[in-house]
Amino acid sequence: MSLPTLVSFDIDGTLECGEPPGIVSIALVRTAKQRGYLVGSCSDRPIGYQRDLWARLGIAVDFTVLKHRLTDLDAAYATDAGFRFLRADAAAHRAWVTELFASAPE
């Protein structure tokens, strides 16, 4: 039995609806949910804000987590917990979108 893929999104500077906007589209988040991935957010934004955001977008996420301003330590904490950290910059985005979705979502 294979384990499900979990995809955790930061909001600000990562999602297109963040402040500032990031490179990850809401269509990509929806594609992840449609493929059965566990999807949610880990952000400096309060849990209530995260839940309201996902509700406004019409996406039923599996989790919302407060990351306590770990900006420079995100990769280290993710790796230490057994996860793989994927950056949301243009170069990295092309690689992981292809890996996670086999092709870029519409």
Residues 55-104 have pLDDT tens digits of: 999 999 999 988 865 556 677 877 887 877 777 777 777 777 777 776 54
Residue 82 lies in a domain: yes
The total of structural domains in the chain comes to 1
CB 71 within 8 A of CB 39: no
Alpha helices (runs of H) in 1-106, residue ranges in sequence order: 26-34, 47-57, 74-80, 90-101
Q: According to the model, what pLDDT value does residue 104 have?
A: 45
**pTM strictly above 0.75:** no
Asked if residue 92 belongs to a domain, the reply is yes
Q: So what's the pLDDT on residue 72?
A: 62
Is 1 domain-assigned? no
- pLDDT for position 84: 76
Beta-strand relationship, 63-66 and 6-9? unpaired
Domain containing residue 35: 6-100
